Structure 1
Amino acid sequence: MKNIKISVIIPVYNVEKYIIECIESIINQTFKDIEIIVVNDGTKDNSIKIVEEYLSDKRIKIINKANGGLSSARNEGMKVAKGEYIYFIDSDDFINEDVLEVLYKNLESERFDIIFSNFSFYNDKTKKEKKSKFNFPFKENINKGYYFLYNGEEINVWNRLYRREFLEKYNFRFIEEIIYEDQDFGFKTILLAENIKYIENYGYKYRVGREGSIMSSQRKEKSLKSVQILKKEIKDFFLNIQLNEFQKIRVYFKLLSLEFWEKELKNEKIILEEIEKFEDSLEKIYQNNGFNFIEKKILKNDIRNLIKNKKINIWKKVYWKNGIINFKILKKLLKGWDN
């Protein structure tokens, strides 16, 4: 197959009820220069038999493997991908017929490492759609990836084009045998992307409310193990990569959020020494006058998200003054977590 612009990777496991809608949404794209890589992750139902009925479309190839989970399936798909860009879609989701064309055309003449957009929630029971609330908060013409990590929704790995050369440069792969794998891959890729673009488009339909989904079957033990692995992997990954000061702080806050998450899963309380260490770090961060307006706004939001994760109402004026955190109030709130 010549002139492959986009490799679409579809991991498949026990989705016979949804795979037709997914595969047809890709086959019928207005953008035709694609290959469709269907990874059979040891499915036990008729999903792959259904896909085989579409093999008259020569753009489709099926990779068969033993069951290893979503991350393993995506990794296998990346190994054989030939496209200039890679696009992930979950096999129970589907997209509007112009999604790939809209994304690719917005590349214009630039070599973006990542281009991504919004999405819609599709309720499997009611068949109704609801637009996701994520909107990139800055109107400035910026393209550095580390500015695009803002509210958490942007770390999803589906519904975006990844430049394959960029993924290969850092040997990005999904951590296998864990859940929350997007927390790792999505965070790393966006933080290191030199040229990234966001557009507003809700053509990706993320299915919610279906039976047997990963989200409805997670267990606390697996969550804890996954968070512990994520924390170690992210820390180890960035040890040998040169980062600017702003990126280093983003990594620090990411690791801290995972640490808080781990403690919640273990029903552990945050001790005073950890509070003081966090406070000292924040004071050093805000003593740095080299951050621009956007960077300061992003850092404040990171801190708000850390507090929000503890079920605390951070929107009261008593917690924030002129957009700058009040360290005495913060310390009081953090101490309250121990009660």
Structure 2
Amino acid sequence: MNESPKERGAQMPKVSVIMPVYNVEQYVDQAINSILNQSFKNFEFIIINDGSTDHSLERIKKYQDDSRITVIDKENAGVSAARNDGIKMAKGIYLSFMDSDDEVEPNFLAKMVEHTKNIQVDMLMCGYYVEHLDEKEGMTKQVPVRMRAGTFTKEHPPDWEVDANSLAMLGYIWNKWYRRQVIIENHILFNEEMNFLEDIDFNAAAYKYAEDFLVLENCLYHYKRRRRTTLVSTFREEDFDMQLQSILKRKSILQEWGLETPQLEQVVAYLHVHAVKGFCVNLFLNENQLTFTQKCEYLNKVIERPLTQERVKLFIPQNIVDRILKLTIGKKMGYALAIISTFYSTQRKVLKMKF
């Protein structure tokens, strides 16, 4: 592992921004500049090149003259290991994580700092924008996601209306700050065996040990959802089980903070059914080596699970797609769902070829 040492001065940085980088040469400059152009300047920026095979490292090195930046260049070990390297090196009062293909608002750091002047909470969370981008980086849709603002403790938990957005917000790491002392003293690190849904696993531990957290309504982070340039994908049956584990961990976070409500089970049911939908997309939209019969067998195993059947009963459809899901899953119509998924994926591929 090679790193570029920097003179840090006597003042401890307020926040350490940790950003792993892997093969994002076309996006990494935007991500770096969105941090360097912050109105608040007392931060350190730890960039970990996780064995990129493109020109990401060359792009990162252009910024090494900035004394706030430390670049770590290491062999590829995965995003969890890269973030752990950043945690171990960090000196800030708070830790912040950023994905190398996203951006933040120019006042992201300033707004978060503003709310820690009088109180030093264990965690902070802000709203964010989900931005859907096409192949030419044009934004097709921007969705703001936020919660009601406030400072909460386990003795005085939030009285949020629990929905899919609130569960999503709790799971991500990039819209949060973590007090470093809490992370270090409780030995909270990312599971290096996980490179999928690893942020939820980390957050479950962080929420367990946090005594209080502060929520800002401001949408300060831009989460970019880019359309895949290829439809080739490896099918993994275990991905569905990992999705269910992530739902349970999000549920446990709310329970930890006293938010056990009747709506919670309905939201869990919603997420479970939509995990089945994602499973269908993985099976039928992305190319793999499975025959149609094999795909139907996998799909039937998922929808016939007792837990799936239990949750589909609680599932409240929001639109026609949801109603189709409730009917086909509830009646265990795996073959029908497979045909619908095949038709849908064919239409998507035709549209992609045309446009």
Task: Place the TM-score, normalised by the shorter chain, in its bin.
Answer: 0.5 to 0.7
Contact kept, 8 Å, 2:19 with 2:97, in 1: the verdict is: yes
Partner residue, 2:238? 225
> What SS is found at the alignment partner of 1:51?
helix
Tell me which of 108, 112, 120 is aligned to 1:111. 120
Contact kept, 8 Å, 1:270 with 1:338, in 2: the verdict is: yes
Q: Following the alignment from structure 2 to structure 1, what is the Cα–Cα distance between the partners of residues 174 and 274?
A: 26
Partner residue, 1:185? 202
Tell me which of 11, 17, 21 is aligned to 2:30. 21
> What SS is found at the alignment partner of 2:66?
coil
Q: Following the alignment from structure 2 to structure 1, what is the Cα–Cα distance between the partners of residues 232 and 207?
A: 28
Name stretches of at least 5 consecutive residues in structure 2 with no aligned partner: 1-7, 280-297, 334-355
Q: Does 1:204 align with 2:221?
A: yes
Q: Following the alignment from structure 1 to structure 2, what is the Cα–Cα distance between the partners of residues 217 and 3?
A: 46
Q: CA deviation at 1:246?
A: 5.3
Partner residue, 1:171? 187
Q: Write out per-residue CA displacement over residues 66-112 of structure 1, whole angstroms, 9 at most, x where no aligned residue.
A: 21222222122112111111111111112222111111112232222
Partner residue, 2:174? 158
Name stretches of at least 5 consecutive residues in structure 1 with no aligned partner: 283-302, 315-331
Q: Following the alignment from structure 1 to structure 2, what is the Cα–Cα distance between the partners of residues 231 and 272?
A: 12
Q: Following the alignment from structure 1 to structure 2, what is the Cα–Cα distance between the partners of residues 156 and 101?
A: 20
Q: Which moved more, 1:3-12 or 1:265-274?
A: 265-274
Question: 1:247-262 to 2 correspondence within 5 Å?
Answer: 261=275
Partner residue, 1:327? none
Q: Following the alignment from structure 1 to structure 2, what is the Cα–Cα distance between the partners of residues 192 and 227?
A: 28
Q: Following the alignment from structure 1 to structure 2, what is the Cα–Cα distance between the partners of residues 94 and 273?
A: 41
Q: CA deviation at 1:257?
A: 6.2
Q: Following the alignment from structure 1 to structure 2, what is the Cα–Cα distance between the partners of residues 37 and 108?
A: 24
Partner residue, 1:53? 62
Work out the percentage of aligned pairs sharing the same amino acid.
28
Tell me which of 332, 343, 348 is aligned to 1:338. 332
TM-score under structure 1 length normalisation: 0.67
Q: CA deviation at 1:264?
A: 8.2
Partner residue, 1:135? 146
Partner residue, 1:288? none
Q: Would the alpha carbon gap of residues 140 and 173 (structure 1) be closer, same or farther in structure 2, given more than 3 Å must change?
A: closer
Q: Following the alignment from structure 1 to structure 2, what is the Cα–Cα distance between the partners of residues 167 and 248?
A: 29
Q: Would the alpha carbon gap of residues 194 and 259 (structure 1) be closer, same or farther in structure 2, given more than 3 Å must change?
A: farther
Contact kept, 8 Å, 1:16 with 1:50, in 2: the verdict is: yes
Q: Following the alignment from structure 1 to structure 2, what is the Cα–Cα distance between the partners of residues 143 and 106?
A: 16
TM-score under structure 2 length normalisation: 0.65
Q: Does 1:33 align with 2:42?
A: yes
Tell me which of 189, 211, 215 is aligned to 1:194. 211
Q: CA deviation at 1:16?
A: 1.2
Partner residue, 1:323? none
> What SS is found at the alignment partner of 1:3?
coil
Q: CA deviation at 1:275?
A: 7.9
Q: Would the alpha carbon gap of residues 304 and 105 (structure 1) be closer, same or farther in structure 2, given more than 3 Å must change?
A: farther
Q: CA deviation at 1:15?
A: 1.1
Tell me which of 85, 96, 121 is aligned to 1:87. 96
Contact kept, 8 Å, 1:37 with 1:60, in 2: the verdict is: yes
- RMSD of aligned C-alpha atoms? 4.4
Q: Write out per-residue CA displacement over residues 45-68 of structure 1, whole angstroms, 9 at most, x where no aligned residue.
A: 111111111111111111122212
Q: Following the alignment from structure 2 to structure 1, what is the Cα–Cα distance between the partners of residues 257 and 126?
A: 26
Contact kept, 8 Å, 1:25 with 1:95, in 2: the verdict is: yes
Q: CA deviation at 1:273?
A: 6.0
Q: Following the alignment from structure 1 to structure 2, what is the Cα–Cα distance between the partners of residues 99 and 333?
A: 44
> What SS is found at the alignment partner of 1:172?
coil
Q: Does 1:5 align with 2:47?
A: no
Q: What is the number of residues matched between the two proteins?
A: 292
> What SS is found at the alignment partner of 1:220?
coil
Q: CA deviation at 1:36?
A: 0.7
Q: Would the alpha carbon gap of residues 116 and 260 (structure 1) be closer, same or farther in structure 2, given more than 3 Å must change?
A: closer
Q: Write out per-residue CA displacement over residues 161-218 of structure 1, whole angstroms, 9 at most, x where no aligned residue.
A: 11112223443322334322233234443465331122122332222225569xx775
> What SS is found at the alignment partner of 1:202?
strand
Contact kept, 8 Å, 1:40 with 1:48, in 2: the verdict is: yes
